[in-house]
């Protein structure tokens, strides 16, 4: 991929600023578009949804399927360089785009992150520990699963996110039934581990191999969806944090990765660190960087795409990020409501981000709140007040 910088303020033949393209119009694309526009770029979004959050704030919105030839041609015509906003963008589309334009991340790296079996093989090649597992693609492989992997979690190899495509199994009978439930799709069975907590590392790598990273983040999930992120992580030893950063950097280098990458890890009860998965894009757990760091993960996404210099991010204030799902828009009786934003915004250090989605439904990511404070304890205390205002269970 050619990496001649696409500089801010660079103009095309008709005098317009350079345009950066993004495959996907969700909230990650919206925040990328906003970061790019702050730096003087135009943006083009390809997404089939006419009301996609990114499409609504971008001057160019190409309403087409991700494999639509005419849509891809329009995106290439508009854009000087192209990125992605979710990991399930078809790798074939990225190959098509990459033949004509710089694309970051590249199709081969995205393809590995899209497939749990390939991802775990990449962990192994880099010497990064992950959960004991077995790949199940055939009935013979199902029968050959070692007893040591049970009880475990059966996960589809592809298209699983936010807890979807995952079934916990206690024994072989449940394993067989779960594989049938998942329609005998290629799967990975992971042994259940004594998990203490989850952490993640968000980093950026450019085409020259330079890598910068944000601080390690501690994450809490509910029903498989991220609920709260804390930075700095209050319960994670520095040695574990250093190990996670080093492993994430190794993985990015091994992929020849260009762009923003998030690597999720499990910390086990005995202190061991296990890689869980990689996301080839900015990550929900990194949203706090907009308010709490001198550069955000979206700023770095723009820089890696445009071939601009990277700077090591600085955490300006401890932060707690609270994910806002559509459930907040309903009361206990299930009646639609407007959340008490005035009450929330009366609290100090509160930064509200809503994604511009036209309708709320339970489990849908609608926005997030970042709370910043002078220290971690103060940020957590204020975050608990936010949760109380919104009727969320807190930590």
Q: pLDDT of 31-81, one tens digit each?
A: 999 999 999 999 999 999 999 999 999 999 999 999 999 999 999 999 999
**pLDDT per residue as tens digits for the range 216-260:** 999 999 988 999 999 999 989 999 999 999 999 999 999 999 999
Q: Say if CB 297 and CB 162 are below 8 A apart.
A: no
338 and 202 together in one domain:
yes
Clarify whether residues 304 and 383 are in a common domain: yes
* 161 and 91, same domain (yes or no): no
pLDDT digits (tens, 9 = 90+) for 121-142: 999 999 999 999 999 999 999 9
Q: Do both 367 and 283 map to the same domain?
A: yes
> Does residue 6 form part of some domain?
no
Q: Is the pLDDT of residue 334 over 50?
A: yes
Q: Is the pLDDT of residue 2 over 60?
A: no
Whether 153 and 73 share a structural domain: no
Residues 233 and 263 in one domain: yes
Minimal CA–CA distance to 259: which of 157, 74, 108, 65?
Answer: 108
Whole-model pTM: value is 0.94
Q: Give the domain range for residue 157.
A: 132-191
Judged by average pLDDT, the poorest of 14-18, 215-219, 343-347, 389-393 is 14-18
Measured in degrees and rounded to the nearest 5, phi and psi for residue 339 equal -55, 155
Given a cut of 80, is residue 4 above it in pLDDT? no
Query: Would you say residue 209 lies in a domain?
Result: yes
Round to whole Å and give the CA distance between 43 and 58: 6
The tens digit of pLDDT for each residue in 339-355 reads 999 999 999 999 999 99
What's the mean pLDDT when you consider all of the chain?
Answer: 94
Sheet holding 166-169, edge to edge: 133-136, 187-191, 152-156, 166-169
Query: Do 254 and 304 belong together in one domain?
Result: yes
pLDDT value, residue 332: 87
CATH number of residue 142's parent domain:
3.30.1490.20
Give pLDDT, residue 1: 46
162 pLDDT band (50/70/90 cuts)?
Answer: low
Q: What is the pLDDT of residues 295-306, one digit of tens each?
A: 999 999 999 999
Q: What is the pLDDT of residues 93-105, one digit of tens each?
A: 999 999 999 999 9
Residue 342 falls inside a structural domain: yes
Q: Does 291 map to a domain?
A: yes
In a domain, residue 326? The reply is yes
The domain boundary residue, chosen from 169, 191, 213: 191
DSSP characters over 122-156: HHHHHT--B--EEEE-SHHHHHT--GGG-SEEEEE
Contact 185, 167 (CB under 8 A): no
With cut-offs at 50, 70 and 90, classify the pLDDT of residue 286: very high
The DSSP string of 57-107 is: HSSEEE---TT-HHHHHHHHHH-SEEEESSTTS-HHHHHHHHTTS-BSS-H
Q: How confident is the model at residue 83 (pLDDT cuts 50, 70, 90)?
A: very high
Mean pLDDT, residues 362-389 taken together: 97
Contact present, 103 and 82 (Cβ < 8 Å): yes
**306 and 279 within one domain:** yes
Number of domains in the chain: 3
CA atoms of 24 and 89, how far apart (whole Å): 8
Residue 116 lies in a domain: no
Pairwise CA distance, residues 281 & 89, whole Å: 11
- The answer on 297 and 214 residing in a single domain is yes
Do 327 and 213 sit in the same domain of this protein?
yes
Residue with tokens 């979807």: 164
Give the domain CATH number at 51.
3.40.50.20
Q: Are residues 159 and 232 in the same domain?
A: no
Of 82, 103, 124, the position where a domain reaches its end is 103
Positive or negative torsion for Cα 352, 357, 358, 359: negative
| Structural domain contains residue 117 | no
Query: Which of 83, 103, 123 is at the close of a domain?
Result: 103
Say yes or no: 261 and 380 in one domain: yes
Instruction: Identify the pLDDT of residue 8.
Output: 83
CATH number of the CATH domain containing 283: 3.30.470.20
Do the domain assignments include residue 244?
yes
Mean pLDDT of 195-221: 97
In b/e form, how buried is each residue of 211-222, taking b as 16+ CB within 10 angstroms? bbbbbbbbbeee
């Amino acid at each position: 991929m050619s990496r001649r910088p696409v500089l801010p303020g660079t103009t095309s033949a008709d005098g317009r600023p350079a345009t950066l393209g993004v495959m996907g119009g969700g909230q990650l694309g919206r925040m990328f578009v906003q970061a790019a526009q702050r730096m003087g770029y135009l943006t083009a979004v390809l997404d089939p949804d006419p009301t996609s959050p990114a499409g609504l704030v971008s001057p160019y919105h190409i309403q087409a399927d991700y494999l639509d030839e005419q849509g891809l041609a329009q995106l290439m015509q508009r854009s000087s360089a192209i990125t992605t906003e979710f990991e399930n963008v078809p790798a074939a589309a990225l190959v098509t785009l990459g033949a004509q334009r710089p694309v970051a991340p590249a199709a081969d790296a995205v393809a590995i992150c899209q497939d749990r079996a390939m991802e775990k093989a990449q962990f192994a090649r880099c010497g990064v520990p992950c959960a004991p597992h077995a790949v199940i693609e055939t009935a013979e492989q199902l029968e050959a699963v070692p007893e040591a992997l049970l009880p475990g979690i059966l996960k589809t190899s592809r298209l699983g996110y936010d807890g979807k495509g995952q079934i916990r199994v206690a024994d072989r009978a449940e394993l067989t039934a779960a594989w049938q439930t998942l329609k005998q799709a290629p799967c990975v069975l992971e042994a259940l581990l004594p998990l203490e907590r989850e952490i993640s590392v968000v980093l950026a790598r450019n085409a020259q191999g330079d890598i910068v990273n944000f601080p390690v983040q501690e994450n809490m999930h509910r029903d498989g969806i991220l609920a709260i992120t804390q930075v700095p992580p209050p319960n994670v030893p520095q040695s574990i944090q250093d190990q996670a950063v080093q492993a994430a950097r190794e993985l990015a280098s091994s992929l020849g990765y260009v762009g923003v990458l998030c690597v999720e890890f499990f910390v086990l009860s005995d202190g061991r660190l296990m890689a869980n998965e990689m996301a080839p894009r900015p990550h929900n757990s990194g949203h706090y960087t907009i308010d709490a760091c001198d550069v955000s993960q979206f700023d770095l996404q723009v820089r890696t795409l445009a071939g601009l210099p990277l700077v090591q991010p600085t955490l300006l204030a401890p932060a707690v990020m609270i994910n806002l799902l559509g459930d907040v828009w309903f009361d206990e009786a299930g009646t639609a409501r407007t959340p008490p934003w005035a009450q929330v915004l009366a609290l100090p250090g509160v930064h509200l981000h809503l994604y511009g989605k036209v309708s709320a439904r339970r489990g849908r990511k609608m926005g997030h709140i970042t709370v910043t404070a002078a220290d971690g304890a103060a940020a957590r205390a204020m975050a608990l007040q936010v949760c109380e205002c919104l009727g969320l269970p807190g930590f």
